[in-house]
Amino acid sequence: MIPSDIDLGPETVLELAAGIRTRRDAAGHILVDSPVGTVVDIGPQGFAILSMFSPPRTLGDAIAHLEATRRGMVDFAPTMGAINILIEESVLTVSGSDHRPTSGWADPEEHARMLNDHRRTGDYIAALTAAVRPDDVVVDIGTGSGVLAVAAAKAGARRVYAVEASDIADVARRVFEINGVADRVTLVPGWSRQIDLPEPADVLVSEIIGNEPLEEEILETTLDARRRLLAPGARMIPHGLTLMARPILLPAAEVRQRAFGRADVAHWHDLYGIDFAPLLDASIPGPVYTRTEGEVVATWPTCGPPRALATVDLARFDTPSLHGSVDLRVDPPGLVNAVAVTFRADLHDGTTHTLDPWRWPASSWATSVWVLPDPVTVSSNSRLRVQYHRRAAGVADGLSCEVVD
């Protein structure tokens, strides 16, 4: 049974115990060797359940994350049953607010890659330099290597609170010391939604846009910061975010690596003499989310210009749910088998940063590409309607596409 001192609810923060080992049995089920010496069978989708809590998440956010990655196709009862068992067997534990994971964002090579993206880092530093005023208090959410916290201090901030949940915080602390700003930069270990600041901040900088632009929860994090951590009228970097959609045509070999559809089932039947229609029936319907490095995406033909799919005013929005829709023109008319979703971040006073691999292929961000299992034909008299949902009531998270007249 779940320990009596655990009140399991949407805000309960859970994390994986250290040293967890997994394997797959002959039936395809995921087996977990628990810290208490038992073997836990969490079914064929066990890896998806374990990944819900890497990094640590609230139970509510973890379920939303699973719904996003599986585009809403989540059977809630067995998922919660597996989570309960994992808690009982100490595979999942309640996370303290001082938890800092040792993987992912803690990887120094990941931060070196971002520092080597001079356009990305330079745009944020330029925005900070323009935004910070003498005597300002700045909060840097997800400080990472500490580059933006140092930039804020050098721009004249009286105090900078550098918030970081991963073990890269130890590196950032040393960066502050050797660059002579440790007297004005305070490292705050933890997740921003689980900490408090001793004073409200005049400036928020949060470079937490993901490869899928919203996957690092910039909406949830910004909304919480506005409510609890910022002074009235605080300046925000970024203060706006626009998702852009663009129709593209992937080479057939690239599609086969990322998705499969009716044409593939027919090909397999011709090749092997076996009908694999049940495999298609068992797959999640709709476009398949993948991410690809910009240098590769830049070699793929585009089928039309990018258009705004959804825009968020980060200084004023009041819910982390988002719905966007746009009708894309295909020029020249013909086949489309994927949609690239990129972004433009409005940083400060006209300074922007745009992810567009066809203009700037060398980026530390990968490009979010949604692959259609079966291509569609868009004529000169029709459009490709692209809809994007995140935490929208009654609609599965993800992207949907249809041809409309």
How many Cα atoms sit within 13 Å of 199 on the Cβ side?
A: 12
| Annotated active-site residue in 67, 89, 207, 212 | 207
Give the separation between CA 346 and CA 131, rounded to whole angstroms.
Answer: 13
Give the separation between CA 153 and CA 136, rounded to whole angstroms.
Answer: 10
Give the pairing type, strands 13-16 and 92-94.
antiparallel
Give the pairing type, strands 137-141 and 159-164.
parallel
Query: In which element (H, E) is residue 77 found?
Result: helix 76-88
398 forms bridges with which residues in the sheet? 389
Three-state secondary structure call for residue 324: strand
The DSSP output letter for 296 is H
Tell the residue number behind the tokens 């609170």, with chain if given. 161
Active site residue 216: yes
Give the separation between CA 32 and CA 49, rounded to whole angstroms.
Answer: 12
Active site residue 207: yes
Three-state secondary structure call for residue 384: strand
Nearest to 374 by CA among 302, 266, 295: 266
User: Where do the DSSP E strands lie in 238-275?
Assistant: 240-248
As given in the structure block, the two tokens for residue 306 are 């990018």
Nearest to 75 by CA among 103, 105, 43: 43
Residue type present at position 27: A
| Annotated active-site residue in 15, 110, 215, 216 | 216
Q: Break the chain down into helix, strand, coil percent, rounded to 5.
A: 30, 30, 40
Q: Report the catalytic residues.
A: 207, 216
